[in-house]
């Protein structure tokens, strides 16, 4: 049994979380190979999968207009059945899934051994209304496990969402930047953990990157030198 499968055995019950087949661990060997272990060439900055036409370590969009964040580490693509896994955590309150998400991100980090780890990691914050409705922040649940797996300090309150925004999934892609503009602030109580530091930001899903870009802009304005996104699932490039 390889170390990946061995570790997953302790995370979730005895049915594969992706295909529901009986298995010894959280994910059966076939789904692990298809959706988690397989690594793809990705843009260093935004994490989108690179095509054969891409000759750089950055995609054309990032070369044309560089985001505020510096790097993005992606666990897997946001495709079926990965999308169902995300939904079960967010709306089904299956919190153990967060540990699997953290482990998947960690596996991707290991492949980037030349990349320096941040000095602290924090979640993308939810607004008060959504946090009250859901009862938890799914990104923080991932942070808790990722912090333990990597040995990096975590901070739940590094950022706050000061404006309730419409769910990004419910609005057109072209309007998502405007939807999150000015939505975040840094908690100045923890400014010493931001100033001249490399900060890691954790989220479950990245589509356009608008939310993470606004978070990175907020952190950079507060003095962060480098911002790295740690994302469980990245929406693939559209054909």
| Poorest-pLDDT segment among 30-34, 72-76, 217-221 | 30-34
* Dist. CA 232–CA 203, nearest whole Å: 7
* Same domain for 72 and 25: no
pLDDT digits (tens, 9 = 90+) for 83-121: 999 999 999 988 989 999 999 999 899 887 667 899 999
Which pair of tokens denotes residue 237?
């490039």
Q: Which residues contact 153 (CB under 8 A, 6 or more apart)?
A: 119, 120, 121, 147, 193
Which pair of tokens denotes residue 146?
């990722």
pLDDT band at 219 (very low <50, low <70, confident <90, very high): very high
Report the domain count for the chain: 2
* Same domain for 103 and 91: yes
| Poorest-pLDDT segment among 8-12, 81-85, 126-130, 187-191 | 8-12
pLDDT at 117: 93
* Same domain for 51 and 29: no
* Same domain for 74 and 4: no
pTM of the model: 0.86
Q: Which domain range does residue 30 map to? A: 1-38
CATH number for the domain including 191? 3.40.50.2020
Query: Contact at 8 Å (CB) between 50 and 43?
Result: yes
* Same domain for 83 and 55: yes
pLDDT at 169: 60
* Same domain for 88 and 18: no
* Same domain for 64 and 34: no
Q: How long is the chain?
A: 239
pLDDT at 55: 55
Q: Which residues contact 182 (CB under 8 A, 6 or more apart)?
A: 162, 163, 214
* Same domain for 104 and 26: no
Query: Of the spans 49-53, 80-84, 122-126, which averages the highest pLDDT?
Result: 122-126
pLDDT at 232: 97
Residue 239 in domain: no
The residue that leads in pLDDT, 49 or 202, is: 202
pLDDT band at 147 (very low <50, low <70, confident <90, very high): very high
* Same domain for 193 and 111: yes
The residue that leads in pLDDT, 135 or 27, is: 135
* Same domain for 48 and 19: no
pLDDT at 111: 80
> Is residue 1 pLDDT above 50, yes or no?
no
Residue 98 in domain: yes
Q: What is the average pLDDT across 56-70? A: 92
| H-run or E-run covering 123 | strand 120-123
Query: Of the spans 17-21, 30-34, 47-51, 154-158, which averages the highest pLDDT?
Result: 154-158
Q: How far apart are the first and last CA of the chain?
A: 37
* Same domain for 30 and 46: no
How far from the centroid of its chain's Cα atoms is residue 229's Cα? 6
* Same domain for 47 and 28: no
């Amino acid at each position: 049994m390889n170390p990946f499968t061995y570790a997953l055995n302790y995370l979730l019950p005895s049915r594969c979380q992706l295909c529901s087949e009986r298995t010894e661990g959280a994910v059966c060997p076939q789904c692990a190979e298809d959706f988690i272990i397989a690594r793809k060439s990705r843009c260093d900055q935004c994490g989108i999968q690179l095509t054969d036409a891409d000759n750089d370590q950055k995609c054309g969009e990032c070369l044309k207009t560089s985001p505020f964040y510096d790097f993005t580490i992606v666990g897997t693509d946001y495709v079926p059945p990965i999308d169902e896994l995300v939904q079960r955590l967010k709306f089904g309150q299956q919190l153990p899934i967060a540990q699997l998400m953290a482990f998947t991100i960690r596996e991707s980090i290991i492949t980037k051994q030349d990349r320096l780890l941040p000095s602290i990691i924090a979640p993308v914050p939810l607004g008060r209304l959504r946090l009250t409705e859901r009862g938890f922040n799914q990104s923080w649940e991932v942070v808790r496990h990722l912090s333990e797996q990597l040995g990096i300090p975590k901070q739940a309150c590094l950022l706050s969402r000061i404006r309730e925004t419409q769910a990004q999934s419910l609005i057109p892609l072209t309007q998502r930047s405007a939807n999150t503009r000015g939505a975040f602030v840094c908690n100045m109580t923890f400014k010493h953990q931001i100033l001249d530091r490399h900060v890691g930001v954790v989220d479950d899903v990245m589509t356009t990157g608008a939310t993470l870009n606004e978070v990175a802009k907020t952190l950079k304005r507060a003095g962060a030198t480098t911002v790295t996104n740690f994302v469980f699932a990245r929406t693939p490039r559209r054909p």
